[in-house]
Amino acid sequence: MNANLQGTYHKRPRQNRDTQIAVVPSSEKYLGQMEMCHQQAYGYTLDSNASDVDGEALTADKFRQHLAIFPQGQFMALDKATNRVVGLTVSMRVNLNAHDAAKSWAELTNDG
């Protein structure tokens, strides 16, 4: 080990395979559950009759688009016992100018 790095590196144990929750790449198979997980996390519901969905709301269609554009950056936490999505990440890679950082997620992603 490099003497300059000594003491700054801490090995973390890998997750035990016996755990009930697995972090796996997101999949189109779970789009509906991903939508519901996002709604529960942020405390909103989507009215299926509403013609204008809030730009910050992530729908199954928006998750599908994320998977098409940047599949390597999408992950979910799956409860293996129930096959339910219990968490997720949403990632994107962009080059930002300083003024772009002030924009909302909806503006940066053209509504998702």
Q: What is the pLDDT of residues 21-63, one digit of tens each?
A: 999 999 999 999 999 999 998 888 876 555 445 667 889 999 9
Q: What is the largest CA-CA distance in the chain?
A: 63
Q: What is the pTM of this model?
A: 0.67
Residue ranges per structural domain of the chain: 21-108
Residue pLDDT, tens place only, 54-65 = 667 889 999 999
Q: Which of 35, 94, 91, 101 is nearest to 66 (CA)?
A: 91
Task: Please give the residue that has the higher pLDDT: either 106 or 46.
Answer: 46
Does the pLDDT at position 112 exceed 60?
no
Indicate the pairing of strand 84-88 with strand 75-79: antiparallel
Alpha-carbon separation of residue 37 from 33, 71, 80 (angstroms): 6, 19, 16
